Structure 1
Amino acid sequence: MTQLATPAFSPLRLEERSLAYKAGAVLFGTIGLAVASRIEVPMVPVPVTMQTFAICMVGALYGARMGMITVLAWLGQAMIGLPVLAGGAGGLAHFAGPTGGYLAAFPLMALMVGWLAERGWNHSRPLLAFTSMLAANLFCLALGGAWLASLIGLEKAIALGVTPFILGGVLKSALGSASLVALNRGWTKKTN
């Protein structure tokens, strides 16, 4: 019987944990995502929130598989109406409205950042961690902007749903990379 290779980087070692521990990690992650969604700067038609920061952190800390599962669980909570999205929103209407493309991109962001973190784009290489998070943010803007363009037209979608969020994506990616380095220092001190 062959064993599956474990990821090169998995700070929480979720792949080694019990199902109950994994379920707790998913629950904790969905709570973190819901809290990050409440940190927002209102804009029309899409607010600026800390959601993408939290999604990138979940991917980087949980890994590709558990990160994506966590984001999907959070989106599932939103679909059934729990107030976990920006501004305490929830319900299926958000998946068909202006934010639908961004919401669809979220699990893929976690997957992307987690997959790259497992391959060394993590705290030990902060510039690569920043690059992975920035790429995930840009992917989200591209998918979200494309969806928004189908609703309000390309020019308006770029002006209202992409351009205002680029600087925020850069800043949140830098914060995410710095947070990974800081968390690793904390874990290293704790284990020594």
Structure 2
Amino acid sequence: MTSKPNHSFSPVDPNGRPASWKFFAVAVAIACLSVASHIEIPMVPVPITAQTYVLLTIAGLLGWKLGTVSTVLWLALGALGIPVLAGGSSGLDYFSGPTAGYLFAFPLAVAIVGLLFERGWNANHIALAFLAMLLGHAVCLGFGGLWLAFTIGPESAFMKGVLPFLLGGVIKSALAVGTILVVDRFLGKGRAH
């Protein structure tokens, strides 16, 4: 009888789980993203939220497939009018307004971070995990800032849509890695008994 390897890319080992667990994990991820959307500091034209922290934590825990599916479904709920986006907002207007670039970048950022985690840039190598999270934030800010540049101009887009989020991106990247490490320690202790 062959045994599973001790270390998956994630402490929750999503690839070794049954379909029912994956459905539940996606539902929990969507719920967490929806709650994170309500944790915000209102700013114009783009608010600061806990979304990217949760998005990238999900990517690190669930990997690129389940993470991306969770993100796309969450965005679809927002587009359909369910109040799951920043500050409890929703509707198709948000996918063409000032925050559209960030919204469209979310699945890409999750896919990239999830893929990097699956390739070894994970909690087994904390510095690489942190770099993966920073890259995810860079994707969000890059696409978000680029989209914003078309609506309010490049300089204003950088000053209002990128610069205020740089420090937060570093902090949220560290928090995402820390959260995954806590989950790993918690589940590792649980498995040890």
The answer for the alignment partner of 2:4 in structure 1 is none
Q: Could you say what secondary structure the match of 1:167 adopts?
A: helix
Percent identity, please.
Answer: 46
- In structure 1, stretches of 5+ residues that fail to align are 1-6
Root mean square deviation, CA, Å: 1.3
- In structure 2, stretches of 5+ residues that fail to align are 1-6
1:191 paired with 2:185, answer: no
8 Å contact kept, 1:8–1:119: no
> Counterparts of 1:80-159 in structure 2 under 5 Å?
80-159=80-159
Alpha-carbon distance between aligned partners in 2 of 1:18 and 1:186, rounded to the nearest angstrom = 21
TM-fit CA distance, 1:13 = 2.8
> Counterparts of 1:42-81 in structure 2 under 5 Å?
42-81=42-81
TM-fit CA distance, 1:180 = 1.4
The answer for the alignment partner of 1:166 in structure 2 is 166
- 1:114-173 CA distance string (max 9 Å, x none): 101111111111111111001110111010000001111111100100000000000000
- 1:80-137 CA distance string (max 9 Å, x none): 0100011000110001000000000000111111101111111111111111001110
8 Å contact kept, 1:64–1:114: yes
Instruction: Could you list the structure 1 runs, at least 4 aligned residues long, displaced by more than 3 angstroms after superposition.
Output: none
Alpha-carbon distance between aligned partners in 2 of 1:14 and 1:182, rounded to the nearest angstrom = 17
TM-score w.r.t. structure 2 length?
Answer: 0.93
8 Å contact kept, 1:8–1:120: no
TM-score w.r.t. structure 1 length?
Answer: 0.93
TM-fit CA distance, 1:21 = 2.3
The answer for the alignment partner of 1:27 in structure 2 is 27
Alpha-carbon distance between aligned partners in 1 of 2:48 and 2:84, rounded to the nearest angstrom = 15
Q: Could you say what secondary structure the match of 2:111 adopts?
A: helix
Alpha-carbon distance between aligned partners in 1 of 2:189 and 2:53, rounded to the nearest angstrom = 25
Q: Could you say what secondary structure the match of 2:104 adopts?
A: helix
